[in-house]
């Protein structure tokens, strides 16, 4: 073969060889914008392959990857066939991982809902699992036996028997004892006998809507309520957890009651820092007549609706008796911390006469 370089000068190349059948390149080969480098074919824009029948064979599999766009297959007949005896794996992900803008007919398996789902153009429609199944057994008669063994223990009432598509009447056309079915007459070898076992519902672990994303589930010792694919309430034997706001339908709904109040309420913020309908300058009992209240000038302590103590910047006013807990133990004032003046009308029910008082006044005077 004769080669020319960029200046059209005849030259030779040890990187290219042709044996009459195969053309071999050592290194990269570029045809227009298509570059071939070993086992990689690349193009800066769209790469089109046209063939009456394109066959791709990969001994270890075939991988088709895109960086940021869809993979689109447009068959001329409008039908895409997958010829396999094992399975077709669809995309798998939880509810949050659903595509942002799905196309109608988009199908995936939702790991959170534990079921496949399809997008109908508006909502995701879940394929709900069967809560009660119907098992089927086919019996091939031999034309001799009148009784046959069933796959499971049954009764005449919880199976449906058909012969050649005709439903048979229990106890008349057949009878069942444990796992043996006996026919009134010997079935022919050409008869097609179908047994359907009706499974009674022993429990229901979930209730769901038609779309499969709003449901109530009972899982072990937990009840889970989901709405539109989002967990709303989780209940166990210790607590009730909510992932959403709790909003009363009207303004007269209470949280707790006088007879059954909550022990503690823990919050980070109350309506942006202010508790609506609550006066932070006052704390009280449940009835509201025993309380401590503050205003701009004083603090008031009330018991059973009666003001007992009023405190302002200059004085403490008491409107009831001040009694020590133990007789003869508590002092009013102390050594080094005496009251300046003591104003009284009576002491121990008597008029106080300072001229006749003989007690210890600790160096003070009345």
The predicted structure's pLDDT at residue 214: 86
The predicted structure's pLDDT at residue 149: 94
Regions in the chain scoring below 70 on pLDDT: 1-15, 25, 27-31, 38, 128-133, 199-204, 210, 270-280, 286-287, 347-366
Order of strands, sheet of 174-177, starting from the edge strand that comes earlier in the sequence: 147-149, 180-183, 174-177
The predicted structure's pLDDT at residue 68: 75
The predicted structure's pLDDT at residue 131: 45
The predicted structure's pLDDT at residue 185: 95
The domain in which residue 151 lies consists of: 134-198
Assigned domain for 193 exists: yes
User: 283: which residues sit within 8 A by CB, 6+ positions away?
Assistant: 291, 292
Assigned domain for 203 exists: no
Assigned domain for 117 exists: no
Assigned domain for 214 exists: no
Q: State pLDDT tens for residues 87-117.
A: 889 999 988 889 988 999 999 998 877 788 8
Torsion 87-90-95-97 (CA) sign: positive
- In angstroms, the CA 105 to CA 119 distance is 5
CB atoms closer than 10 angstroms to residue 221: 9
The predicted structure's pLDDT at residue 270: 67
The predicted structure's pLDDT at residue 13: 62
Instruction: Check: CB of residue 119 under 8 Å from CB of residue 135.
Output: no
Percent of the chain with pLDDT over 90: 21
The encoded tokens of residue 283 equal 């704390």
CA distances from 142 to 152, 185, 187, 188 (A): 21, 13, 8, 7
Domain boundary among 198, 225, 252: 198
Instruction: Check: CB of residue 34 under 8 Å from CB of residue 45.
Output: no
pTM of the predicted model, to two decimals?
0.36
Instruction: Check: CB of residue 236 under 8 Å from CB of residue 222.
Output: yes
Beta-strand pair 107-110/92-93: parallel
- In angstroms, the CA 217 to CA 226 distance is 8
Q: State pLDDT tens for residues 209-225.
A: 767 778 898 888 899 99
Assigned domain for 84 exists: no
> What is the count of structural domains for the chain?
2
């Amino acid at each position: 073969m004769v080669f020319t370089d960029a200046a059209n000068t005849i030259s030779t190349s040890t990187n290219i060889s042709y044996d009459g059948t195969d053309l071999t390149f050592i290194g990269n080969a570029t045809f227009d914008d298509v570059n071939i480098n070993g086992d990689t074919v690349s193009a800066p824009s769209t790469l089109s392959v046209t063939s009456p029948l394109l066959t791709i064979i990969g001994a270890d599999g075939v991988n088709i990857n895109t960086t940021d766009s869809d993979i689109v297959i447009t068959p001329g007949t409008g039908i895409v066939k997958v010829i396999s005896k094992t399975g077709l794996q669809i995309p798998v992900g939880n509810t949050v991982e659903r595509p942002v803008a799905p196309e109608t007919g988009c199908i995936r398996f939702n790991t959170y809902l534990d079921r496949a789902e399809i997008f109908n153009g508006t909502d995701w429609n879940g394929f709900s699992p069967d809560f009660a199944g119907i098992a089927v057994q086919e019996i091939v008669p031999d034309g001799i036996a009148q009784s046959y063994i069933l796959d499971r223990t049954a009764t005449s009432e919880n199976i449906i028997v058909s012969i050649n598509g005709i439903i048979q009447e229990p106890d008349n056309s057949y009878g069942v004892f444990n796992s043996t079915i006996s026919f009134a007459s010997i079935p022919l070898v050409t008869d097609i006998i179908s047994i359907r076992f009706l499974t009674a519902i022993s429990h229901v672990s979930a209730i769901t809507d038609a779309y499969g994303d709003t449901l109530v589930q009972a899982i072990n010792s937990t009840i889970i309520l989901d709405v539109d694919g989002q967990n709303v309430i989780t209940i166990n034997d210790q607590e009730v957890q909510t992932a959403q706001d709790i909003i009363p339908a009207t303004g007269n709904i209470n949280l707790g009651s006088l007879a059954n109040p909550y022990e503690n309420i823990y919050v980070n913020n109350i309506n942006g820092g202010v508790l609506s309908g609550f006066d932070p300058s006052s704390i009280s009992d449940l009835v509201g007549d025993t309380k401590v209240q503050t205003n701009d000038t004083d603090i008031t302590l009330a018991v059973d609706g009666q003001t007992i103590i009023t405190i302002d910047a200059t004085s403490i006013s008491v409107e009831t008796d001040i009694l020590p807990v133990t007789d003869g133990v508590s002092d009013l004032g102390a050594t080094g911390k005496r009251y300046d003046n003591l104003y009284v009308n009576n002491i121990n029910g008597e008029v106080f006469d300072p001229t006749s008082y003989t007690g210890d006044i600790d160096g003070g005077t009345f």
